[in-house]
Structure 1
């Protein structure tokens, strides 16, 4: 057994109640999103200020103690919790300041998507984020950030305009050109992002469409989707999921961020998604993006067991649809889902070397999310995810979405940043030569 670190030196900088050394204490406060994660830190420090973060980073470095950073703890691989080390919990650094004139938002490192969208929504603005309100903004954006506004405004990373970062020696810097480039897709591998600045956009409301089709119509519906040209304002997410009675279904979900009247029109692009087949349910309504993200978050609560794989494909071909349909027909848990994220529009018009995020050609990100309530059927669910991942491998592009790659994705990690890998490793060596920070996998 490794003895717990002596944290007495930290008590000169922080209040005792900020330093948690009891598993009983911190497990009640920092439940990982993935309940299957078993590794636990020796110490959790609940940082409330940037100075707190600097003190913990400097202390961990001086003692040679492994360090991890937890924004909202949503990483499915559990990298927010460093087994036997010190975890910096940023949840209290969740401030949001919105300037409606310059259309900029400044967020603390522990801010969630829901908190950012609620704050921007008060001004009739939106930020480019993902779809689940409980996910941390900084973790999402620094790793890329697919989302419902990406076709019109690019990835979340493309909207990241500045950052304040605590480096491995405890110093605080404002990201320069190199470091900001790396943070826009290279993840939290260079320091602790304690503050980030984002462009935000005037979209007072969105039009959301939710259409459910029987699994037997998946081939027809996805074929017709593949043949349809969509404007940048329309984001379409498809997903295989189970209905309330466990029946496998195909979801076609739309987010329209253009003129609301066009989005609501019966002959408009959102209602057209209900005419791809014979739906079992179809709803179209105007709402806030914050409300949409909150509803999605309810379906992905903290504490369930999670196994996740991802593959990027040029298009959802008939062969891929056959694989997805066949595998989902025998999914072991009704909580599991396979999501097909669209990537195109403005996000695909960014030069590949403009940010660390390297895959800029139009594609579909296939996200395989196995969810189950407890450890009783873990082997069966993990086997299903691995089998589906292997079946999709022959159709996939090299690499994958690094924000979602686990440490076992050894065939994807070397190619996950494309031609940007060499520059990214050089910046890593410059800012963190001792490898203190390990977030999403670097090649």
Structure 2
């Protein structure tokens, strides 16, 4: 046992109160439990932060007592890096406030807020935000790593809509990073992940996008190859208002197939024609697409995708488009599922997201592409066949993949992909890491 743990626990209990610090018990167990049930890490102690001062106290205690540190936001990192073994964990679940300035179309978002918290606060004002597709995911982790979602074509990545962030650095100082203050830190956190400090608050640009046309068009697996081949033309000509996610998954009847998940965020009239084109790529088993709100869309995805306690292994590859080898790999992935929960989710990157100069943020890939997340997902049990399936799909997609991969999905073992994950920004990003966190206190996502 690290000799600093009892001293840090006493110090933080005296400063923050007994309800804010836990080394065991129900609150401790609830904090260390994350989306991926395969993660069984046991932190040394957990600090339930209620504001910036609590975060500063925890960071300083970890530094002074020689404890590793991690930060738990939404708990959706599949590797469980937010709840490191033997670490002091700062739990931001008590910091989920969202305030909306409707006139300025800006949301101020606490560091522990989820996508559902943000969208729920913005929706009553007729506003929306760029998030991922699942409401339970933490806004900070998603944004700092990139933030693929169904509004990327029109409004860019989540990180492209970050206006400012309040950050507690490794020495315990609290700073504000934006275009005019700590500009290099602001550059680094937009794509460099949570490797530079604890984001306690963010300002996000909001947009008027509701209602959107969204839903699912599901094709049986025998049609998948032909539909994906035809889809290439649709994606290459897609206007900013149309973003189409692709999902190889098990359908409602228990058979695997191809799901197209379009979102049209512009004038509904031309949007109907684009959606109809997607319906006519084959003979869908079902097609349910219509007007909805972004809030309802997130809620529906949460209902379909939140199987807490099951085990998860993820891989990620980015491909330039749906090449014949990529199509073959996706179809084979669905045909060889080792669990009906497993899936391959592909996000379309185009439009506004692709027009941002690559040097403007630390995010390293600004050309049109499709980002595939391979999710092997199974009830507790033998992991080997499921991990083998994920590795096989990743290797098959690697044939035509672009260098690197989405940092939010990479593990420390993905050394080849990590080396290229930040593209031309790697050297500058390493320099920023040395400047702001020379002791490598924060290790949220892998850096080259």
- Kept in 1, the 8 Å contact 2:76–2:137? The answer is yes
- Kept in 2, the 8 Å contact 1:271–1:284? The answer is no
Instruction: Tell me if 1:256 matches 2:264.
Output: yes
- State TM-score, norm by structure 1: 0.97
Q: Which residue of 2 aligns with 1:51?
A: 53
Q: Which residue of 2 aligns with 1:297?
A: 302
Higher helix share: 2
How far apart, CA to CA, are the structure 2 residues paired with 1:363 and 1:107? Answer: 29
SS of alignment partner, residue 408 of structure 1: coil
Q: Which residue of 1 aligns with 2:277?
A: 272
How far apart, CA to CA, are the structure 2 residues paired with 1:315 and 1:261? Answer: 28
How far apart, CA to CA, are the structure 2 residues paired with 1:4 and 1:251? Answer: 51
- Aligned equivalent of 1:287, options 278, 288, 292: 292
Shift of 1:28: 2.7
- Aligned equivalent of 2:420, options 404, 415, 419: 415
**Cα distance change, pair 227–40 in 1 and its aligned pair in 2 (3 A):** same
Q: Which residue of 1 aligns with 2:343?
A: 337
- Kept in 1, the 8 Å contact 2:31–2:91? The answer is no
How far apart, CA to CA, are the structure 1 residues paired with 2:26 and 2:131? Answer: 33
- What does 1:341-356 align with in structure 2 at a 5 Å threshold? 341-356=347-362
How far apart, CA to CA, are the structure 2 residues paired with 1:106 and 1:30? Answer: 27
How far apart, CA to CA, are the structure 2 residues paired with 1:403 and 1:51? Answer: 28
How far apart, CA to CA, are the structure 2 residues paired with 1:124 and 1:148? Answer: 17
- Kept in 2, the 8 Å contact 1:209–1:271? The answer is no
How far apart, CA to CA, are the structure 2 residues paired with 1:46 and 1:209? Answer: 38
- Aligned equivalent of 2:401, options 393, 396, 402: 396
- What does 1:206-245 align with in structure 2 at a 5 Å threshold? 206-228=212-234, 229-245=237-253
How far apart, CA to CA, are the structure 1 residues paired with 2:57 and 2:270? Answer: 53
SS of alignment partner, residue 429 of structure 2: helix
Q: Which residue of 1 aligns with 2:152?
A: 150
Shift of 1:354: 0.3
- Kept in 1, the 8 Å contact 2:257–2:334? The answer is no
SS of alignment partner, residue 377 of structure 1: coil
Q: Which residue of 1 aligns with 2:441?
A: 436
Q: Which residue of 1 aligns with 2:175?
A: 173
How far apart, CA to CA, are the structure 2 residues paired with 1:95 and 1:317? Answer: 44
Shift of 1:407: 1.4
How far apart, CA to CA, are the structure 2 residues paired with 1:355 and 1:29? Answer: 32
- Aligned equivalent of 1:135, options 134, 137, 147: 137
- Kept in 2, the 8 Å contact 1:209–1:270? The answer is no
How far apart, CA to CA, are the structure 1 residues paired with 2:188 and 2:440? Answer: 15
SS of alignment partner, residue 165 of structure 1: strand
Shift of 1:270: 1.3
SS of alignment partner, residue 377 of structure 2: strand
SS of alignment partner, residue 104 of structure 2: coil
Q: Which residue of 1 aligns with 2:86?
A: 84
How far apart, CA to CA, are the structure 2 residues paired with 1:35 and 1:255? Answer: 31
Instruction: Tell me if 1:16 matches 2:21.
Output: no
Shift of 1:12: 2.3
SS of alignment partner, residue 185 of structure 1: helix
Structure 1: gaps spanning 5 or more residues: none
Instruction: Tell me if 1:202 matches 2:204.
Output: no
Instruction: Tell me if 1:112 matches 2:99.
Output: no
* CA offsets 1:89-137 (integer angstroms, 9 cap, x no match): 0011111111111111110000000010011111001101110000000
Cα RMSD (Å):
1.2
Shift of 1:29: 4.1
**Cα distance change, pair 4–27 in 1 and its aligned pair in 2 (3 A):** farther
Shift of 1:209: 3.0
- State TM-score, norm by structure 2: 0.96
How far apart, CA to CA, are the structure 2 residues paired with 1:282 and 1:245? Answer: 14
How far apart, CA to CA, are the structure 2 residues paired with 1:223 and 1:15? Answer: 60
How far apart, CA to CA, are the structure 2 residues paired with 1:53 and 1:29? Answer: 16
Following TM superposition, where does structure 1 have runs of at least 4 consecutive aligned residues deviating by more than 4 angstroms? Answer: 1-4
How far apart, CA to CA, are the structure 2 residues paired with 1:41 and 1:163? Answer: 27
